[in-house]
Amino acid sequence: MRLFRPESDEPFPIRPGDAVRFVPVESESEVAWLDSNRNSDSDSKHGDRKARQREPEGEPSLAVLRPGLQTTVQDLGRSEGWQAFGVSAGGAMDADSLRVANRLVGNEDGAAGLELTLSGGEYQVLQDTLIALTGADLGATVESEGRVGSESEAESLPLNRPVLLRQGSIVRFRGAASGCRAYLAAAGGIAVEPMLGSRSTDLRAGIGGVEGRALRTGDLLRLGKPSKAAEVLIGKLRKDASPEAAWHSVNEQASPGHSSPKPTVLRVLEGSGWHRFSEEARRAFFESEYKVGTESDRMGLRLSGAELTVSRKEEILSHGVCAGAIQVPASGQPILLAQGCQPTGGYPIIAHVAAADLGIVAQLRPGDVVSFEAVGLGEALSVYREKEERLSRLAAGIKLKWFS
């Protein structure tokens, strides 16, 4: 019996509190027979995974010519309580950048876009598409289909503004000039089948996005229907554009409102395991710098620096964790959990990164150096409210300027 059915309306057939019993079987064929009978009613009601992942309506808008290092479909994640069953909340590493990108193309904050990591890849525009790029500067350029390959014809694609890409144009990314992750939002959002309440790709679980994986060469991406305000802006940009131009944009830029200072200082609160660490380890944590390791990913950033030792060696029970928690394994080298982290962990947590700084964490690259600054709960809440107010003002300004 399959115990994880993400395509179903009831993804977990066994829940806490259920009674189960075990039945002896003689052979694999008997197991298969039992499975077919046990699952027949559920399959007829919910359908299998392939049946549930319908092809979205409409013609493709983007073709993947080269996917880059790791490009995935992401929205704001799975916030409907699935962590209780072991499913990561996931979603965009830099949620604020995705929110701004969506607003710039007339989408709601939670529409699905592309998260591009370090090297963004190469894409062909199959029909006129309104897009916006935010987050890291990955050196985006665009050129007309008939002029591909001529470096002199490639034009830089601006960040933080609505851009109309014309049919046949080619968008390519040279690689990170600054930051780690860029976000590409398109009017209507990336149209993939929601799974467990989200379109986000969970690479370890193999769900969401495009078949639960990073994009590959040859993938075709369809979009949802643009908002009425976005359709009006598309009409204006199309009218103002030169017929042979590969793209056309508004003249003004929206400031995303945060940047990654160098060296990076992250504000943190004391973690649930703070009392387990020696006085020397606590002092070293705040006085030392840590380097981001090459094995870092969407689950977490592995840091190297001063070794942190616990003063209480007893084993601790697994407990709930979330993005921003800084765990310390037996090696003494911290792991800063990121948006794709598992729901539980068994290492002591020395500190938590303040929620307002999680966007900065998302833009850290291997080799970057970070240090930590202690703040109280009141200050952490205050800077988070300031960030949300800044984003609200930005969203209101975008709507007033381009979508009203």
Q: 389 in a domain, yes or no? A: no
**Residues with Cβ within 8 Å of residue 17, at least 6 apart in sequence:** none
CA distance 267 to 252: 32
- Domain co-membership, 225 together with 125: yes
pLDDT at 263: 73
- Domain co-membership, 240 together with 268: no
pLDDT at 142: 95
Whether the ω angle into residue 226 lies within 30 degrees of 0, i.e. cis, is: no
**φ, ψ dihedrals at 31, nearest 5°:** -60, -45
Q: 278 in a domain, yes or no? A: yes
pLDDT at 54: 53
CA distance 47 to 63: 29
Q: 231 in a domain, yes or no? A: yes
- Domain co-membership, 108 together with 88: yes
- Domain co-membership, 187 together with 92: yes
pLDDT at 341: 95
What residue spans of 47-118 are helical by DSSP H?
49-52, 95-104
pLDDT at 317: 87
Q: What is the pTM of this model?
A: 0.90
Our measurement of the distance from residue 52's CA atom to the centroid of its chain's CA atoms, rounded to an integer in Å, reads 23
pLDDT at 147: 56
**Domain boundary residue, one of 198, 218, 249:** 249
Q: 316 in a domain, yes or no? A: yes
The first and second tokens of residue 60, run together, are: 């493709």
**Cβ–Cβ under 8 Å, residues 198 and 75:** yes
Q: Which domain holds residue 370?
A: 264-384
- Domain co-membership, 21 together with 110: no
The first and second tokens of residue 91, run together, are: 């979603």
CA distance 89 to 64: 27
**Domain boundary residue, one of 29, 52, 75:** 52
Instruction: For the chain, list residues with pLDDT below 70.
Output: 30-31, 33-57, 146-152, 256-262
Q: Which residue has the tokens 């904050």?
A: 109
- Domain co-membership, 82 together with 210: yes
- Domain co-membership, 243 together with 101: yes
Instruction: Please report, for residues 70, 170, 202, 215, 364, the alpha-carbon distance to residue 117 in angstroms, rounded to integers and kept in the order given.
Output: 6, 19, 15, 12, 11
Q: 399 in a domain, yes or no? A: no
CA distance 115 to 200: 10
Q: Which residue has the tokens 């990121």?
A: 338
- Domain co-membership, 68 together with 48: no
**Residues with Cβ within 8 Å of residue 66, at least 6 apart in sequence:** 121, 122, 172, 217
- Domain co-membership, 131 together with 175: yes
Q: Which residue has the tokens 């289909």?
A: 145
Closest by CA to 339, choosing from 183, 134, 176, 107, is 183
**Cβ–Cβ under 8 Å, residues 138 and 118:** yes
Q: 210 in a domain, yes or no? A: yes
Q: 162 in a domain, yes or no? A: yes
Strands 349-353 and 325-327, sheet pairing = antiparallel
- Domain co-membership, 174 together with 272: no
> Which CATH number goes with the domain that contains 324?
2.40.100.10
Q: 255 in a domain, yes or no? A: no
Our measurement of the distance from residue 295's CA atom to the centroid of its chain's CA atoms, rounded to an integer in Å, reads 18
- Domain co-membership, 90 together with 36: no
Give the largest Cα separation in the chain, rounded. Answer: 73
pLDDT at 45: 43
- DSSP output for 182-204: EEEEETT-B----BTTB---BTT
Domain count, the chain: 3
- Domain co-membership, 93 together with 3: no
Q: Is 239 helix (H, G, I), strand (E, B) or coil?
A: helix
